[in-house]
Amino acid sequence: MNRKTNIYLNILLAFVTVQILLSCKNTSENETEEQEKPKTEEKVGESENKEVALTQAQYDASDIVLGTFESKNLSEVINANGYTKLPPQNQADVSVFMAGIVKSIRVIEGEFVKAGQTIATLESPEFTRLQESFLISKSNTEFLAAEFERQKTLSDENVNAKKAFQKTKADYETEKARYNSLQKQLSMLHISGSGSGNIVSIVSVTAPISGYITEVNVKIGSNVQPGTSLFSIVDNTKMHVDLLVYEKDLQKVKPDQTVRFVLTNQDNTEIRGKIFSVGKAFENETKSVAVHADILNDKQILIPGMYVNALIDIGKNKVNALPVDAVIKADGREFIFILEDEQVTKAKKETDEKLYHFQRIEVKSGTTQLGYIQVTPLQVLEKNAKIVLKGSYYIQSHLLKSDGGGGHEH
């Protein structure tokens, strides 16, 4: 065999070797893909919705609250802070018109009183002297009224001089004015019945408005003077909020806009209101203006001076929202829990135990405002799906236990 033939044989051998190696590589890659394929499918399976079941005792102990999405405007809003406030006509200081000694106190702080209700009594000799003067004036007025009519008749018949009639008329008018003045003073002291001669030394102090007693500034035996505040009363039924809005947002705020706010140091219960007035001057040398809003939640328990965080709705871009506590984070993702349609099932016939089945659904969150967060489920939910609004972290902890501690909760 010559040299040329050897070269051809070597080239052919090399070509066959390359083909064999390529074939082996393809076979190895196919085997690798086949080995990896189950892992991929297994990974997809892991992302499926997980379920957790709670017993009746666990459900009762968890304080779970169920609900649905709420439509809220979380983006086209103005953030503002403020406080609850009472108008001056719904606050009262109780004082007296004449000095006296406190004889009795009939209320305590925090007690509700009605307008005109007696809340204390005072005693003073001045009260008796005033009634004495009133009775004397009443008698004089009656005498002078009769004398006035007699002198008028005589004057009309030219029996006596005009001067005598005019003096009688002047005396009658003077005494009548004094009588009316004393009657008004007795009325201010809530003394009645003096016209029949019944003189009293103790008078009642009454509430000028209906409301709650907030301060009691006297005690039995206190010597009170006119103008001294004995009690303070507030009527919280006309509470409103004053919100401080900065200059840059002032042009966007108008009467009749909706206000939503929560109390700073309370739970996340949302209170609704409506703007009725916008201030015309800056507050306390700041670049903020007071915006006044009526409170629409008439059953909410509020007192003056409570601080609030508020949102003023200036648009209508509403989204589906849930309380912040409804969304939990695990493995770098966000989830909510749904109570399955068959809420209560039988676990074991012999124990007849009830179980509540919850399904974990992945979601995407958005804007957060006033304890609410925009939530978009990554799968279609039933229209009336029962969403866990409170207690999601409790359910998640049971899910972690059932998974053997897998996952990571934030």
DSSP for 350-379, written as a single string: TTT-EEEEEEEEEEEEEEEETTEEEEEESS
Low-confidence ranges of the chain (pLDDT < 50): 1, 28, 31-47, 343-345, 347-350, 405-410
What is the Cα 143 distance to its own chain's centre? 64
Examine the domain organization and report whether 214 and 294 are in the same domain: no
Is 169 within a domain? yes
At residue 244, the pLDDT reads 92
| 96 within a domain of the structure (yes/no) | yes
The residue segments making up the domain with residue 286 are 77-86+239-316
pLDDT computed for residue 299 by the predictor:
62
- What's residue 24's pLDDT? 53
Number of domains within the chain: 3
Task: Kindly state whether residues 138 and 222 are assigned to the same domain.
Answer: yes
Q: Give the Å distances, CA to CA, from 147 to 23, 133, 142, 144, 181.
A: 144, 21, 9, 5, 22
Residue 244 CA to residue 290 CA, distance in Å, equals 5
CATH code of the domain containing 370:
2.40.420.20
Pair (224, 246) in one structural domain: no
The predicted pLDDT at position 40 comes to: 38
Of 178, 199, 233, which one is at a domain's C-terminal end?
233
pLDDT of residue 44: 37
pLDDT number for residue 408: 43
Quote the pLDDT of residue 300.
67
pLDDT at 404 (0 to 100): 53
Regarding whether 305 and 329 lie in a shared domain, the answer is no
Question: What is the structure's pLDDT at 351?
Answer: 52
pLDDT on residue 58: 85
Q: Identify whether 333 is part of a domain.
A: yes
- Among residues 218, 180, 181, 191, the alpha carbon closest in space to that of 126 is found at 191
Domain membership of residue 17 (yes or no) is no
Q: What CATH number is attached to the domain comprising 144?
A: 2.40.50.100
Kindly state whether residue 11 falls inside one of the protein's structural domains: no
* Residue 223 and residue 205 in one domain: yes
pTM of the predicted protein model: 0.60
* pLDDT at residue 270, rounded to an integer: 82
